[in-house]
Amino acid sequence: MITFHNPFHQGHAPVHEFFRGERVPCFEKPQRVDYVEEALRLRGHEIVPPDVDSSPVLAQIHTPRYLAFLQNAWQQWVALDPANASLQPFPSVWPVRSLRSDVEPDNFVAKLGLYSMDNGTPMAEGTWQAIKAGADAAASAAARVAQGARAAFCCTRPPGHHAGPDFMGGYCFINNAAVAAQWLRSQGSTRVALLDVDYHHGNGTQSIFYDRSDVLFVSLHGDPCTEYPFYLGHADEAGQGEGAGFNLNLPLPAGTSAAQWFAALEQALWRIAQYDADTLVVSLGLDAFEDDPISKFALKTSDFTRLGERLANLGLPTVFVLEGGYAAEELGTNAVNVLEGFEQQVAAA
């Protein structure tokens, strides 16, 4: 399986974040992808840079105003004061409920709050270059599958599934899985299924496709009553308008065992089969791992091989997009186990 990687991901290297009220070193760090790429190389996988420009679909999943902000945010931050080059910007005010969000303020920190769902998504000087290259990698993987490949992997960071049409959050800025799904639609796929197996609900992906029936979104994740992103991911969220019935959330309690998790996966795969999808995008979060520092499920390394095998049994052309997973040293093994489980099952079929 070919892997499209992000040659600029290390440029997005903020030093700290705010986690549950504390300033802590970033969990989402460059070493995450370094470990995945190392595991891929050790096990003989082909890794190539992006060969597709994602720009044609970016404005179909994110608003132009938000994209313009992302592209220029660091320059605006430093223009306020050259000393800001050594500081990380964080929002301090958000337009909740009755406050207006239709007018973009001139104040930079207020803009940052307008486009942020939390204060745990830090920026750095190389953030725009990194997130654009990640979107290009996702589009490249989707293009390869659209051209006839059985599967392709987008190995990138920062992740994307918390990024919505006009907001960032949860370390995410551009929604790479949504880029892949939209690229597949642009190349003729009529019924794309997007399965999110990250521990945290892909609220951004849900928001992007919530009123659409051409992309089915299915997610199994930690119960939002206790787990990030808290305000989306409940079981009663089923889509609206044309998208009614095309969103399935399977929230699970903290401490969920591998057996319980795979039972929920079977529900997810049954819905995808019922949908009669012609292609599959997998938001491959690996933080359901038992030793992940910010998650509370109990999957073992061997369970990720089983996940890959089960996904292959759907028989669909598949794009894998790396999302979360913060046990950095084990992340590479767990990611490659999914890919190789998938490939071995395809070869055996």
Catalytic sites, residue numbers? 162
What gap in Å lies between CA 107 and CA 4, rounded to an integer?
37
Q: What gap in Å lies between CA 159 and CA 28, rounded to an integer?
A: 9
CA distances from 33 to 40, 332, 335 (A): 10, 8, 10
CB 252 within 8 A of CB 297: yes
Q: What are phi and psi of 198, to 5 degrees?
A: -65, 150
Three-state DSSP state, 186: helix
3-state secondary structure 231-291: CCCCCCCCCCHHHCCCEEEEEECCCCCHHHHHHHHHHHHHHHHHHCCCEEEEEECCCCECC
Q: Which of 321, 298, 303, 14 shows the shortest CA–CA distance to 155? A: 321
Q: What is the sign of the dihedral through the CA atoms of 271, 187, 312 and 276?
A: positive
